[in-house]
Structure formats: structure tokens, C-alpha cells
Chain A
Amino acid sequence: MSKITQQLNFLNKISATTKLPQILIDSKKYSGLRLTFQMKNHNGHMGARVFWHDYLPTLQFYNPEIKFDVIRIKNEDKQKSVPCKLEILSQEGTVTETIDMRNKMHDDIMKDLLEKIEHNPLPENEVIRAGSPIE
């Protein structure tokens, strides 16, 4: 695989090939999402981290108005419990919904989010592909 193909794959992973988070969130209703989880994977925080890594870029790409905050807490101690939650913030900044991300896979977190947040799926013709000519 050439360098350019690799790069295009990286870009398309953000904008085209990751299908699940290709949604349009109404920015008049929501101001943002706030994720809180641990830096390390232990105590079931892996799904949250992978969700951030795999799905948040696409969400941000198609919803530039929405603010995504990620708060990663440094905790090496396995006995200590650290919150692992996703909060949906309304336009006024209050928390409308909370999703517990502990011990969940990233796909399940995304499905939970799709259930709890009002959204429209992105029309197929509006998907942006890197490498194809842009009008």
C-alpha cells in the first residue's frame, strides 16, 4: 500500500467508511457531548476510549457546530472507581441524558447514543470522500 493510499484511507475513515456515526445532530437543540473516562483501560473503560478514538472524529466532522469534550482522568489504582459516562448537553448547558459507558463495547455505546439523541441520518449523497474531486 502506498503512502498516499494509506493517507486516503485515514481520511476516509473519518469521513466516509465509518458508517455508524454518520448522523446530523441538531445544533439548535444540543450544545455538545461530554465524555468522562479513565486514561487506562482497566475497570471497563476500554469501550469509552475506543468510542472516542473510532467514532468521535466522524461525529465532529459532520457536526462542526457541536462541541465534544473529552475528560480523561489519570488513575493507576485498580481499586479506585472513576466515573465512565457520556453526557448529552442541551443548548443551555444542562445535562439532558447520561449514558453509562462502563463495561460496554464501543458499538453498544454508539447504539445507546443513537437511541438517546435526536438526530437525522446523513443522506448518502452528502458523504464526503477524500481523493475524489471536490466541487
Chain B
Amino acid sequence: MLPTTTIPKICIASPMRRYLSHTARYLYAEEYKTTSMSSNAPSLTKDQAKKRELKRLAQRRAEAKRPATTSPLYMPVAMALRYLRAAEVGRPQSQQTINLTTLVVGERGTAPISGNVTFPKPLRYVKVAVFTNDEIKLKELREKYPNHLIGGADLVAKIKNNEIPVDFDKAFATPDIVATLQSQVARILGPRGVLPSVKKGTVNDDITSLLQESLGSMPFRQRGNAISVGIGKCYFTDRELLQNIISTRAAFKAAVENQKAKKPSILSKTTLSSTHGPGIVIDFA
């Protein structure tokens, strides 16, 4: 309320008041404008989001086409490994894994890239179990792979009675024993992901070729915008690690070629990193 006791005060206040009311009206108008705009806003932002996504995709494409040498973090592989080994000094061997990450640029909705790499020098030796009732095959396989678990119905019974621990990473079977496996040990092997099944492609009559393909091979899968694979340990020699990198590159490129998509994804920046170490950009093209 305005003070009415003195005249000069009113004289000063009244234009002020008028002014304030003007601004208030002006502000109200502004507010009205913005609210009316926001009612149209969702369609606009949707459009903008789409534009932004396209812009980002174009940016990522452009980045993928740029050579790795332009990155400030680029290094030749030998130098990168020197840095990684230095960063991992004194750590337990189990923590010294070197991994390779490649960014993937693809349109939304394309199927993720996946495949298998066979390393010349594997990280660890995979133990495999083979189930078959074919006696000739059993004998042949036992001679060829003495370190793996190979057997028929007797092996299934032993696993069921907990006489043999389930310490294998992969399991294969011939079609004749699948029914026994399903009924006897599905509850033991299933949760561990080592129950052979036709859907997974681990049941086949030609078990020898199946084994050769999978021994020492490591599966990889695109997660988000990247594929990441552990390629070795710090104590591997440079030569072994380079060979592993080369085979990884071949496997990635094969996986991209086999991708079922209208527009195939492209491989972008590749970094070499380790458990405690920095990520270093390498030339992977």
C-alpha cells in the first residue's frame, strides 16, 4: 500500500507504480507467450532430437573415417604396450589383462555384431566336455584330447552323482545322447550354461570339426556402441600380442561382413587398454 501521509512520497511513488504495473503486464504477456509456445514444444523437440541424432551419427561416421594417427592419444602398438606394462607393474598376473575395444558406428536398429576369435596365443586353455555314445568316436577323441572330459552315459551318471566337478567351459554332444542329458543333468549343467543344445549349435554328429573350431576361440559381442575383447596378458611378448591383435582384426572384419543389415556398421576408433592402465588409440584399419 502507498503511504498517504506526505504528498512528495506519493509524487515519487505514483509513476513508479505505474511503471511496475506496466512491467507486470509485460511479464505476464511474456509468460503467456512462452506457455503458448511450450504447448507446441513436444513436436519441435522431437524433430530436434531426430536432427541431433542424425548430426551425431554423421559426426561419429566422420570420426571413424579419420585416420587413427590424428588422435592425440595415438601410439604405435609397441609403445602402447610399454606404457601398459608400466601401468600394471607389481599387480597380480590375474589382473594384468590387456583388452582391445573398438567403437562401432551403425544405424539404430541394426543387429549387434558378434562372432568368434581364434587367438594364436590364447589367454587361457578352455576345458571342454564331450558327450557321445559312439564308442569309436570316444576312443578317437580320447586319444586326440587327453586333457578334456570325454564320455558317454557313464560320464552323465557320474556328473549326476557329483563324482566329477563341473569345471569345463564348453560342452558338446552328439544327437543320440541329448535326450539322456536333458533328463539327467539338465538341472546341473543348464544354470552354468554348459548344456549342449541344438539351438546353441553345440549338438552335431561331426563333433571333431566342432571341437577344432571352438578350442581356443573366444566369443565376442557388440555391447552398446563397442566391441571389447581381452587379447592377452602383460607378460605375453610383443610378438604374441601383435599376432592376437591381427587375428582379432580379421575376426571383427569378418563379423562386420557377415552382419545382416541394409547399411553395414563401420568400425571406428580402437583403443588398447589394461586393467589398471590408460586407453591408448592404435591403428587398427
Contacts and interface: CB of A to CB of B under 8 A. Distances in A.
Secondary structure of the A side of the interface? helix
Secondary structure of the B side of the interface? loop
Interface in B75-95: 75-76, 79, 82-83, 85-87, 89-91
Contacts of B73: 4, 7-8, 11, 130-131
A14 B90 contact: no
Contact of B279 (A7, A58, A131): A7
Interface residues of A, number: 23
Contacts of A131: 72-73
Given A7-B278, A10-B278, A64-B82, A57 B75 contact: no
Most chain B beta-carbon contacts within 10 A, residue among A35, A64, A68, A130: A130
Given A14-B86, A130-B75, 10 more contacts: A11-B83, A14-B87, A35-B90, A56-B89, A58-B86, A59-B89, A60-B85, A61-B82, A69-B90, A70-B90
Contacts of A134: 75-76, 79
Given A4-B73, A8-B73, A69-B90, A14 B83 contact: yes
B83 A64 contact: no
Interface of B: 72-73, 75-76, 79, 82-83, 85-87, 89-91, 278-280
A76 B170 CA distance: 40
A2 to B, nearest CB: 10
A61 B278 CA distance: 14
B90 A4 contact: no
Contact of A15 (B72, B83, B280): B83
Given A60-B89, A61-B86, A8 B79 contact: no
Nearest to B71: A4
B279 A61 contact: no
Nearest to B81: A64
Contacts of B280: 11
A52 B91 CA distance: 10
A68 B85 CA distance: 11
22 contacts: A4-B72, A8-B72, A11-B73, A11-B280, A14-B86, A15-B86, A52-B89, A57-B86, A60-B86, A60-B89, A61-B83, A61-B85, A61-B86, A68-B89, A69-B90, A70-B91, A128-B79, A130-B75, A130-B83, A131-B72, A134-B76, A134-B79
